[in-house]
Structure 1
Amino acid sequence: MTEAAMVDRAGRPIRVGLDVGGTKIDAVAVSHDGEILGRLRRPTRWGEDAVVDSTVEAVLALGDEVGFTPDDVASAGVGIPGLVDSATGRVLHAVNLGVESLDLAARAGARLGVPFRVENDVKAAALGAAALRGIDGSMAYLNLGTGVAAGIVVDGRIWRGARGTAGEVGHLSVDPAGRLCGCGQRGCVETFCGGGALAKAWGRPGALPVRDILDAAELGDAQAVLLRDDLFRGAAAAVRVLVLSADVERVIIGGGLTALGDRLEHGIRAALLAGAEASAFMRSLHLDERIELLTAGSPAAAFGAALVGASAPVKEIVAHG
């Protein structure tokens, strides 16, 4: 009986991936050959029980839309912020979700009868971006959102490093006399190009503060010009660190700030070129040619979570601020 259940599970046609964020869940259904069969977004609710409920409801709603039941699901993967033990599926300190300690894989799996695996959201997005872009070698995924974080993928696998912090550039201090970061250091990369830090420094009301900064800079507002330059220089610094430390071939930029489109990409590229003017070595790296912007609204994070769900877990604690 146990063997039959395992064979049945292996033959199920659907893999589900869920990107669980502070405000929404992005869910995709993926076939065994990697085709995205359907996608939906639902709001995330606050608190540990609510996160489990939201996750389960997203899978069921996706099934209603695409036409499958939990019996058709071979695996489910979740990308979520916070400290993630990918071997046990436990999530710690996901403060934007009201989660202190949550055995998400066990609880969601028990509700649906589906095996769940959980990964840090940025690492899952890195895996998804590499797969969607067809990158076989090395790449880094730089997430520019409220905060700044990165993940590295080499030959289709997440590269974690010795303690799971490989690629973690947001809290690298590049100006010890700079603005105070939430991590306690000064002048972290995140204080230059994180959306939350920029909004705080801007200090003016608005639904999209970073877009407001760029708009005001184009009109000549002196404070906005300084903050815009910080954004581009900070993101360029993150790209340099990722390439110089890991020699990745590509740096794919994702996250909420990609909604700025060409203005963000052109600004980072210009900052990379300006930073290389005085160095033949830096010019030889062609950093400006090694970046690309992920299309706004890309399913990379949810798709990467589906890949995580289909892969064997590795016992590792990983962190992103």
Structure 2
Amino acid sequence: MGAVTAGTRAVGLDIGGTKTHGVVLADDGSILAQVRKSTRPGADGVVDTAARVFAALGREVGGQGHLTGPVGVGVPGLVDVARGTLRHAVNLDVNGDDLPLRDLLAERLGVPVLLENDVNAATLAARALVDADDVVYLSVGTGLAAGLVLDGRLRRGEHGAAGEIGHLPVDPSGAVCGCGQVGCLETIASGRALAEAWPTPDGPPAADLFAAAAAGDVKAVAVRDRFCWGVANAVRALCLTIDPERIVLGGGVSEVGEPLHEQVVLQLRALGEGSAFLASLGLADRLSMVPLHYPVAAVGAALVAAG
């Protein structure tokens, strides 16, 4: 992936509703250190968690004094990059008025902070992985969202909502989405939807679902196929509206690995069976996945810091 400026170390924090993942990139862009800690919700909890992860990263690389450059921070929700504010980050229990998160973090960490939406940050790392200028990163995590790099530039949109593919309605008789619409893709193809359709007492429901489907469980096959149909529809919608060179699949559910890729490819090919036009676009051939266990959002946040 793209190298960080010689002699510097870039720090990235991916603040999620469950965990905060921090990385330090060496000057060649490789991961020098990484730390994960559980995220404490609320504005104070988010700042405190980020501070603990930052301090732990400093210890990993030989003392916090080594981390003096800017820190890139990726967070869910609507981010105003210019003002450094965050709103509607429901998973972090940050609601209401704009939260000046950039300034709060900079004051606590003692270094400059650059704030970015987490999916947008991950998209920068995905772009570096595939080395292309037109890239969509499709994140299948708790929700469903996409990040867009077009002609080498990150596209955020007028209201910071570019890539909110999860809130595209596809089923008028479907479930009510958290956004207030009905039958959104996120109600079909997201970690939350999958957990509701295939609840498990412990362990990741996605891994359990795909294992049960591979073993021939009829119900599991039906749930898996509907889920992958939803992901494939997100890919189709993105390709028809943006026509990117590459689409990279990531997010927590992607930890299932190659079985997820295989099933989404099958659904994409099935969508093209009745349409020579759609088949000619080669949707499946554009799709790849983030390598297993690769901290794409945290690395992307570090790339935000590196400029």
1:129 and 2:117 correspond: no
Distance 1:11 1:252 in 2: 28
CA distance in 2 between counterparts of 1:266 and 1:57 reads 39
Name the SS for the 2:111 alignment partner: coil
CA RMSD of aligned residues (A): 2.1
The yes-or-no answer on 1:158 pairing with 2:154 is: yes
Matches within 5 A, 1:202-221: 202-203=198-199, 205-221=201-217
Which range is displaced more, 36-45 or 299-308?
36-45
Residue number in structure 1 paired with 2:144: 148
Evaluate the alpha carbon distance shift between residue 172 and residue 251 of structure 1 in structure 2; reply closer, same or farther with a 3 A threshold.
same
1:192 maps to 2:188: yes
Q: Distance in 1 between matches of 2:8 and 2:234?
A: 39
Q: Tell me, yes or no, if structure 1 residue 18 matches structure 2 residue 52.
A: no
The amino acid of 2:301's aligned partner reads A
CA distance in 1 between partners of 2:223 and 2:6 (Å) = 53
Q: Which residue number in structure 1 is paired with residue 29 of structure 2? A: 34
Matched, 1:114 2:111: yes
Equivalent residues of 1:12, 1:73 under 8 A apart: no
Amino acid at match of 1:291: L
Matched-pair contact (CA < 8 Å) for 2:11–2:67: no
Is the Cα–Cα contact under 8 Å of residues 192 and 198 in structure 1 kept in the other structure?
Answer: yes
* Residue 90 of structure 1 pairs with residue 85 of structure 2: yes
* Secondary structure of residue in 1 paired with 2:166: coil
Q: For 2:175 and 2:217, how far apart are their aligned partners in 1?
A: 20
SS at match of 1:193: coil
1:308–1:220 distance in 2 versus 1, CA, 3 Å: same
- Structure 1 126/284 Cα, relative in aligned 2: closer, same or farther at 3 Å? same
Q: 2:68 aligns with which of 65, 69, 73?
A: 73
Structure 2 gap ranges (5+): none
- The corresponding residue for 2:251 is 255
1:275-290 to 2 correspondences below 5 Å: 275-290=271-286
Contact 2:23 2:32 in 1 (8 A): yes
1: distance between equivalents of 2:71 and 2:32?
14
Aligned to 1:314: none
Identity %: 48
Q: Matched residues in 2 for 1:291 and 1:306: separation? A: 25
Alpha-carbon spacing, 1:209–1:36, altered in 2? closer, same or farther (3 Å): closer
Offset of 1:222 from its aligned partner? 3.7
Closer, same or farther: CA 215–29 of 1 in aligned 2, 3 Å: closer
Q: Deviations over 1:288-310 (max 9, x none)?
A: 11001111221221111112224
SS of alignment partner, residue 170 of structure 1:
helix
Separation of aligned partners in 2, 1:267 and 1:197? 17
Hey, what does 1:270 align to over in structure 2?
Answer: 266
1:41-83 deviation per Cα after TM superposition (whole angstroms, max 9, x unaligned): 2222222112111111211210111125346422101001122
Task: Provide, for residues 85-119 of structure 1, a one-character-per-residue CA deviation record: whole Å limited to 9, x for no partner.
Answer: 11122222322222235322112211232110111
Question: Who wins on radius of gyration, i.e. which is larger?
Answer: 1
1 or 2 for the larger relative contact order (CA 8 Å, sep ≥6)?
1
> Which secondary structure state, in structure 2, belongs to the residue aligned with residue 305 of structure 1?
helix
Number of paired residues? 301
Say whether 1:58 aligns with 2:53. yes
How far off is 1:204 after superposition?
Answer: 5.3
Gaps spanning 5+ residues in structure 1: where? 1-9, 312-321
Take 1:202 and 1:72, find their aligned partners in 2: how far apart are those partners? 43
Aligned partners of 1:142 and 1:151 also within 8 Å: yes
